């Protein structure tokens, strides 16, 4: 691979991590809080963790959808400007 191709792959992975990190962090925090509450109340229901975690992650995705779309559009525009067909 040439340097330009490696730069595109590096940018894609960086964008993937940057876009997914807030959603995964919210899921991690909610899962941790629910697990602590389960330990304190001694409720050991395995499915109890999933519903709040999924709701929190979906809500985070909805709240960040504009930002995620903007970042993906910026990357797409930059990627098309880097393509050899456009002369960039």
At 26-36, the pLDDT tens digits run 999 999 999 99
pLDDT at position 87: 55
pLDDT at position 13: 96
Q: Is the pLDDT assigned to residue 85 strictly greater than 80? A: no
Cα-Cα-Cα-Cα torsion 71, 73, 74, 80, nearest 10 degrees, comes to 140
**pTM of the model as a whole:** 0.79
pLDDT at position 45: 82
Q: Is the pLDDT assigned to residue 84 strictly greater than 80? A: no
């Amino acid at each position: 691979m040439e340097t330009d191709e490696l730069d595109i792959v590096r940018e894609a992975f960086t964008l993937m991590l940057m876009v997914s990190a807030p959603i995964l962090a919210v899921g991690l925090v909610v899962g941790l809080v629910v697990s602590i509450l389960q330990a304190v109340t001694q409720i050991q229901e395995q499915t109890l963790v999933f519903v709040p975690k999924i709701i929190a992650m979906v809500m985070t995705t909805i709240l960040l959808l504009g930002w995620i779309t903007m970042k993906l559009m910026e990357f797409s525009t930059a990627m098309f400007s880097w393509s050899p067909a456009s002369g960039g």
